[in-house]
Every structure is written in C-alpha cells, then in structure tokens.
Structure 1
C-alpha cells in the first residue's frame, strides 16, 4: 500500500500535483499574486461584481444583523434576509419560489439526491460538473450518462432505460471546462415527451447569458420549460451561495428532503444582502452594459487566439479553453504565462480526461481591451515556443 507521501510524489511526477496560490486584495481584473501585479484570466467573477461598491455597502450594512445565522434554517437560522433573497431569485428567474443553498456543490448533491432515489433514473450529460455526478451517486438512482450534448443518444436512453420510477434529465447550462452551451430547447422537448423532470445547473450562465441575464434558459427562450433551475451566486453575481428556482411544490419538497439544506448552518447576513444587491445590479441598465462589454471582450480575445491557430474547443461563452493535451506541457504553459504577468490555470485530470488538458481562460467585463490584446500576444508567444501552435 502506498503511503500518502508516495501518492503525492506520484502526482508530482505525472504533472497532476495541485497547490494553492494566494491573491492579496480584492478580486478584480488585475490582482497581486506573490508580490507581482498580474492580469487575472482564470476567475469566474465574469461581470466584475465581487468588489462592486454596491455589493460591499450592502454587506457592510447587513453586519447590523450579526455575523452568523446561528443554526440551520429549520432550527432557528431562517432570517428575513434569507426569505428576501429567495423572493428576489424567484422573481428574477420567473418561478413560483426559490430555495437558497450554501454552495453549488451543496445544491447539486442535495437537490438530485432528494428528487430521485432507488428505482428512479438519472440521465446526465457526460461532461456535467462533478457535483452533479456526486449527487447522482448519492441518490442511488440508476445513473445513465449520454455523450456530450447528444440528444439523439439521450432519447435512446430514455426509451430503453427509463424504468417505472421518476426520470430526471440533468445538465450544465454552460459547461465549465469547455465553455459550450447545452441544447436546452431540445432537452425541454425530450423531458416533456418522456415525462421527465429537467434540471439545469446554470452556474456559469446566470447573470451573463440572455438579454436580461436570466441565463442559458433565457437564451433559448425556455425559462418556463425547466423544472429546476439551479444556479450559483459566486460567479456572475460576485457573491456566494447557490439556489434552486422551481415550483412551490418542489421547493417545499427540498426543504423536507434535501440533506445538504436540512443539516447545514445557513448563510450569514452579509452574504445574503450582497447577493440581493448583486441581482439588482445584474437586473439594471448597468448590468446590461456589463454584459455587452463582456461579450465584446470575449469576441476580441477569441478572434486573436483562433486567428493564431489555437483550438478553443467550441467555446460559445466567456469560458475560453486553449487545448494543449499533455498535463506537464499545460502546466509549463501556465508557468510561462505567469512569468509574463498573465495568470491562467492549467486544467488536468481528474477535472478533464487524460490527454485533453487545457488552459482555462475566463474573460471579465472589467478587463480592458488592451489588457486582453496583451494577454493574447503572450499566449501566442508561449504557444509557439512550446509547439502548441506553429
């Protein structure tokens, strides 16, 4: 049996060892990392709201309600701010009700394992987030994975593997490592045809996609066709936490069945207030302006990379992967870019399959076009040096 030290050494030898880097100061388009000013090109703070003055003021004001919530929601930790945030989310998403969870991971594991169980069936896109996979395993339902975005394969599974219990189709709205979008219009049709529930994890689309930032479902015009809209508040909204937006019946069911909700101390007042303020910003003319600027920045960055010959893996969003392949070459690419003042993380197994390692670039509305031009130039230089492009 290998010792922990031996396993860690094996990870180092395979280029799979992970460690944390420390950012000093607020999350912004530029940050201080290891005493050096760098362009932050790997944050999910897509609209730049994490240090927005309106959110900071809301959090500061909410300290008047205390620092902690004291207990889980079902004991005595259900505060007025929790219900105000849930009402704001429901209004934003156009659902009867919403329920707040402590994180995206807690939401997915709690929602999925509550909605289905033994004898039921889950149909999951093969590239769904790890938290969806873990929720499916916790549920003990029959777990079927269909090829990425392949609705024909999904329909065959629904015909052959549905069983007599509940059926749940679950997908990311925006796939976090590839930056492409699920075909939600077709998934809604299949869910209705085969009497299945449809759950969409729109962590990376909420606040960003659609004319008003309602997310990938708004982009496809199917907001009313999705049974459970899961989303997070720590990405496009710049705050923290997650939610399920659904019917009153489903939300009430989750209150009684979702273990990650029942057994967790509730979110603190400052986080709740900041999240309410974030939705208000996203739902304002300023939010519209931020989305336009983000789209412009994304177009500029992709044009430069694709023009140089990089494979951006079909990205359709602000998540722009650069395919490299081997793990060690990916990490060398990341190290070289950091020396040039560009902070981009390499993505390796188990997050992505072996041989498909990539740099995961993420664009923010608060990046300056000149900064992105400079970053693209650095990426091109290193890509040529390492033989990723010629």
Structure 2
C-alpha cells in the first residue's frame, strides 16, 4: 500500500545517507551535547531544590489554560541572567527558531542567512515567505554585499549561529552587528551551542560582547550545555509581545509542564554556581585532544577549534561510515556526519568533548582514531 515509501528509503540507502536510531549504546561519550556534564550530573543526583516549585497548569496553550505567574517570573529571571529586557519560553530550540523565523520576516522582506545555518532556521525561513539569500560562511563582506543588493522596500534580517553546530567555529558577531547597524538591518542570533560555554556564567556570546541592544532576537537552547530541555527567545518587550501574537509554534503549543520548568530553573542554578569550574575542566580536555590529535596527524595544522566540537575529516563519505563503526567498536561513542547535514564532500567525524571526559579517555580516543585513519589512507 505504501511502496513509494520503501522506494524512497531504498534511494537513501543506495546514496549512503540512510539514518537509523542508535538505541542504547555502551561506551565513552564523545557524541552528546552535554559539554559541561550538567545533564549527567542531574541524571545521577536528581534535580536540586529550586524555588518556586512550579504549580501545574491545566493542559493547553499559554494563551488559554497553560499559563501561570510562575512561568512569567521564570522568564524574567532568564532575561536578567542574559542581560536582556524580556524572554519567552518555547518547548524546544527547533520550535523557537521556527517560531521566530516564520513570523518576523514577511513577504517583501529579505533574509540573509549563513550557509551553514541550522535546519530549524532554514525551515522557518521557508515558512516566512520572505526572499532568502545565502551568504558565505562567516563572511561579513558578503553579508554587506547582499544587504546592499536587497530591496529597500521591506525589512532586512541577518541570521547566524553564535557557535556553529557542525563546524564548531564562532561567528564574527561584533562585525555583523556593525554591518547590520549601518544598513538598518535586524540581526538574529541562535546561541544553541554557545549558551553555557561563552560569556559571564555561560550567558552566551551576545552577552559576552555586550551586543544585547544590537541583536533583535537571541535564541538560547537548554538541550546542549545547560543540560535541560526547551528554549527561550530573548529581546525587547515589543519582540515578546509580537511573538505571543504571531508565532504559531508558540500560540498553538501546550504550555510547559512543571517538570520542564524545574529543569530550566535548575540549569540556571548550575550555570550560576558551577559553570566557571566546569568550563575550566572542559578547556583542559579540549587542549589535550587538540595536542594529541595534531601530533598523531588526526587533524592538520590550524584545524584545532576553540571549543568542545572538534572535526576529523576522512577521505570520503564511505570512510566516515566505516570509521564511525570502527571507533564505536573500540568503545568510543562518536558520530559520523554526512550530507545533507553537511555539504556533500565535507563529511566528517564530529567529536564532542566534555568536562567529565578524563585525559585517559582522550588518549584512548586519539589512539583509536589514529589506527583506523591509517588503515584508510
């Protein structure tokens, strides 16, 4: 009855891009986004006591039965932590990006987005109806060129990640903010992989660079370094009210449950009191990996990244699949990234480092990578 589905899946398998759920895997974690180890700690010790206890609401959207003063109070505390006027909670980073990009730009507007932007932002852009222009990765001059060529009739938006999820590098936010200010354009920043790592107590790169007033919308996600779930959109009061009135993923979604709110509140407690120490441990782990990987010819000169995401490039897409399986067999949980998640020809092993990884684990991973890479050369 649904043979066309089998045919389409078969095409993926033949192309080497078929995805499968991994299920339970035993091994040393080098693939999760739990960079600071907060999620692991919460799993082992449970949620700390956080106040308030978050009373349950009747199931429904926040515009009907799913709202509560405690939610608004938590949003105010979130905004204060990031040095922002307001915050609005979403159920996930994906729906936050979808909710912002699908309603802020409109038909007649122009969106300029980085070539390596996350899929959730691309989906939001498609729903907006605005003209979309892709710029070269982290290329400020290309952004300026595209802004100058955009129609002056509508609004113009520039969208970037702060730390890029698949490449691990950092956007030139200060320069982008200047270009946007000169052109009268609006800057939107996805901080999914920078919140928890960068800025005071992990408040993010926008806060670190004191750009809050120059960025229209900052999206912070809790499923990475903070070790929780959900997301928040930070910005001026007019942005919050606009999203409440126009953002369909917010309007038509059941409000957050007490468990999720407690997790978010606990994440901010962790960031406030433990981020500095965890970030310092992570820096030691990153340095150890970069040093070993360079001397063992796993990565080349200049390939080391200043952060927990490190990249290892084999020769081909087929090599990525084989290397992933070989390293997994050695007991190291690692993920090969293929197209369409990354451009074809740029397939890579994505190594996620954590504050809880030991130096012995780093050395073992590097030994495994070296042995299997040599076999493919």
**Shorter-normalised TM-score: what interval?**
over 0.9
Match among 102, 118, 126 for residue 129 of structure 1: 118
**Matched-pair contact (CA < 8 Å) for 1:71–1:265:** yes
Q: Following the alignment from structure 2 to structure 1, what is the Cα–Cα distance between the partners of residues 240 and 162?
A: 20
In the alignment, does 2:211 pair up with 1:222? Answer: yes
Match among 219, 224, 234 for residue 245 of structure 1: 234
In the alignment, does 2:364 pair up with 1:374? Answer: yes
Judge which range, 214-223 or 172-181, deviates more: 214-223
Q: Counterpart of 2:138?
A: 149
Residue 3 of structure 1 and its aligned partner are, at CA, apart by 2.4
Judge which range, 177-186 or 158-167, deviates more: 158-167
The TM-score, its normalising length taken from structure 2, stands at: 0.93
In the alignment, does 2:108 pair up with 1:119? Answer: yes
**Matched-pair contact (CA < 8 Å) for 2:27–2:331:** yes
Residue 65 of structure 1 and its aligned partner are, at CA, apart by 3.5
**Matched-pair contact (CA < 8 Å) for 1:69–1:265:** no
* Gapped regions of structure 1 (runs ≥ 5): 24-32
**Matched-pair contact (CA < 8 Å) for 1:58–1:273:** no
Q: Counterpart of 1:287?
A: 275
Q: CA RMSD in A?
A: 2.1
In the alignment, does 2:322 pair up with 1:308? Answer: no
Q: Counterpart of 1:333?
A: 323
For 1:98-155, what per-residue CA distance to the aligned partner results, in whole angstroms no more than 9, with x for missing partners? 0001111111111112111001111101110011111111100111110001110110
Q: Following the alignment from structure 2 to structure 1, what is the Cα–Cα distance between the partners of residues 256 and 353?
A: 28
Judge which range, 240-249 or 156-165, deviates more: 156-165
* Gapped regions of structure 2 (runs ≥ 5): none
Residue 12 of structure 1 and its aligned partner are, at CA, apart by 1.9
What SS does the aligned partner of 1:320 have? strand
What SS does the aligned partner of 1:122 have? strand
Q: Following the alignment from structure 1 to structure 2, what is the Cα–Cα distance between the partners of residues 360 and 51?
A: 20
Residue 84 of structure 1 and its aligned partner are, at CA, apart by 2.9
Q: Counterpart of 1:4?
A: 5
Residue 92 of structure 1 and its aligned partner are, at CA, apart by 1.1
Q: Counterpart of 1:207?
A: 196
> What count of residue pairs does the alignment treat as equivalent?
373
Residue 332 of structure 1 and its aligned partner are, at CA, apart by 0.5
Q: Counterpart of 1:27?
A: none
Return closer, same or farther for 1:170/1:134 CA change in 2, 3 Å cut-off: same
What SS does the aligned partner of 2:64 have? coil
Q: Following the alignment from structure 2 to structure 1, what is the Cα–Cα distance between the partners of residues 10 and 296?
A: 36
**Matched-pair contact (CA < 8 Å) for 1:119–1:163:** no
For 1:235-289, what per-residue CA distance to the aligned partner results, in whole angstroms no more than 9, with x for missing partners? 11100001101011111111111110001011211111111111121122x2110
Match among 20, 27, 31 for residue 42 of structure 1: 31
Q: Counterpart of 1:187?
A: 176
Q: Counterpart of 1:29?
A: none
